[in-house]
Amino acid sequence: MSLFPSFRRAAGPGHTKTGPRVPATGPLSSATISVIIPLYNHAPYIGAALESVLSQTSPADEIVLIDDGSSDDGFAIAQRVLAQTPHKILLRQDNEGAHNTLNRAISLSHGEYLAVLNSDDMFTPEKIERCRRVLADMPDTGLITGDVGFMDRHGKRHDKMQGWMNNAHRFLDETGLSQLAQLNRHFAFTTSNMVFSRTLWAAAGGFQNLRYCHDLDFLMFAYATSKVFLDRHHEHILYRQHKRNTIRENNQKVNIEVAAIMAHSFRVCGASLLSPELGADDIKAFHQVLGRRKLSPLVLFFMTIGQKFKSRAELYAYATDPGRFDLFVKLTGK
């Protein structure tokens, strides 16, 4: 039985090459776009996040915000900021986790496309407009992502991540292998940097039950089944770095999730991760990814057992079972 029977390879811009430039002028797509905001204990940041949506040069059609059991007053702040905003849905729920909150908010929304914004990040002013230009020019695009800027907890920009991003983009520019480049360094970085079709979300079965890397899994599904557009050289979001960023919690757990995602991507996408020539440059690029990640034993193990599972959700449940954590950490050698 195939591990991921719903996956199929699609051709088009963004699979092995970066897409063309976004048109500077011309029509905007009429596709409706809902902004999806999962809120959790981000009272100091939610006001700025919402203002970045309200100040878009091309307005969103709808805002859907769900507070995921916060213990602060972020939801009250959101209510005040959006008091005069039409076409909104604001809800509170007991804590269900990021992926469940995202999926519920999307299920309640109405847009043909979804633009996620985590409650501590910000959209740049032209983000939605640029996405509408992409969709007007290439209406079959499944997912759009752009460059990322960084700020500290006070909202002040910084360049501490610039070296990391330069290395990520250098690999992409040298190889032209967009999907493999994201596995090398996940430079899309976050769900806040993804605008995607409702059709793609439904085909993916929503965001998967992964605490740290549900964004990377979703991106890999998009590459495997749709067209991904990389809006290079233009920031789409500002990512806020602070002590409570979820990704900082446990690096070993992050590595296990990454290894499981790499394993299913290698099994499902296979040679389509590389160029049709499968030349020396492809071998070098693949070796570089494995060497940098240093997760080969665990990736190979997950690939070996892959056929045991009917879906990637089952594989991820196995990989993230707390009872196997110590064993998998040993396989990572970290």
Dmax (CA) for the chain in angstroms is 59
Shared domain for 95 and 165, answered yes or no, is yes
What is the extent of the structural domain holding 100? Answer: 33-249
pLDDT tens-place string over residues 88-131: 999 999 999 999 999 999 999 999 999 999 999 999 999 999 99
**15, pLDDT greater than 80:** no
Give the confidence band of 41 by pLDDT, cuts at 50, 70, 90: very high
| Domain count along the chain | 2
Task: Tell me what pLDDT residue 18 has.
Answer: 53
Residue 91 and residue 65 in contact, taking contact as beta carbons nearer than 8 Å? yes
Are 222 and 263 part of one and the same domain? no
Residues 228 and 260 in one domain: no
Residue appearing with tokens 């005040």: 80
The pLDDT of 276-302, averaged and rounded, is: 95
Tens of pLDDT, residues 175-203? 999 999 999 999 999 999 999 999 999 99
Distance CA(235)–CA(125), nearest Å, equals 10
| Co-location of 138 and 284 in the same domain | no
Q: How confident is the model at residue 14 (pLDDT cuts 50, 70, 90)?
A: very low
Phi-psi region of 71 (alpha: psi -120 to 50; beta: other; left: phi over 0): alpha
Interior/surface letters 187-216, b for 16+ CB within 10 angstroms, e for the rest: bbbbbbbbbbbbebbebbebbbebbbbbbb
Burial label for 7, CB within 10 Å (0-12, 13-18, 19+), is buried
CA-based nearest residue to 287, from 305, 277, 273, 276: 273
Query: Which of 228, 249, 270 is the C-terminal boundary of a domain?
Result: 249
pLDDT of res. 17: 42
- How confident is the model at residue 7, as a pLDDT? 34
Are residue 67 and residue 190 in the same domain, yes or no?
yes
In a domain? residue 28 = no
Single residue among 249, 265, 285 that ends a domain in this structure: 249
pLDDT digits (tens, 9 = 90+) for 202-229: 999 999 999 999 999 999 999 999 999 9
Residues 245 and 258 grouped into a single domain: no
pLDDT at 16: 37
Does 244 share its domain with 281?
no
Looking at the fold, whether 129 and 168 belong to one and the same domain comes out as yes
Q: What is the CATH number of the domain that holds 237?
A: 3.90.550.10
The reply to whether the predicted model has a pTM over 0.85 is: yes
Tokens of 158: 């910084």
The one-letter amino acid code at 197 reads S
